[in-house]
Amino acid sequence: MARRDDFHELAMNCVMCPNKIPADRPKLAVTCSKECTIARKNYWRSKQDSRVCRYCMKPSTPEQRLAFQQWRRRPQDAEEEERYRLWRLSETNAARVKNRMETKRRKQAEAEEHEEESE
């Protein structure tokens, strides 16, 4: 016997195959069997993995992975080493500027709050 939906008494179909969902499946189940459940899980995992890493949630396209591998490899000559050093220096400086701006904004907000309280 197939499970029926609560509103229209229609037999519910599996989202992975054309089979009906058996009545003995859990109430919120959308698949007809364990195999379909695993296939559905693998489908969503592959869909997510094409956008971001499942473990660290960082972007994970083939181009980004290749760029990361290139970044990780050791510099081949003095020119590459200098480019890498300059890149790291610019990243560090950008982070410092960002931190300074956030600190400045936070102090301004605190000062404005203090002025409002004193009035």
Domain ranges in the chain are 85-119
When comparing pLDDT for 78 and 6, which is higher?
78
pLDDT the model gives residue 50: 78
d(CA 75, CA 70) in angstroms, rounded, equals: 9
pLDDT reported for residue 87: 84
Over the stretch 58-107, which tens digit does the pLDDT of each residue have?
767 777 777 777 777 777 788 888 888 888 899 889 999 999 999 999 99
The half-sphere exposure of 87 on its side-chain side, counting CA atoms within 13 A, is: 8
Dihedral, 95, 100, 101, 107 alpha carbons, nearest 10: 150
The band of 3, judged by pLDDT with boundaries at 50, 70 and 90, is low
Q: Which pLDDT does position 6 carry in this prediction?
A: 63
pLDDT given for residue 53 in this prediction: 77
Model confidence pLDDT, tens digit, residues 19-70: 998 888 888 889 999 999 999 999 998 888 877 777 777 767 777 777 777 7
Write out the two tokens for 11.
């037999």
Contacts of 13 (CB under 8 A, 6+ apart): 19, 20, 21
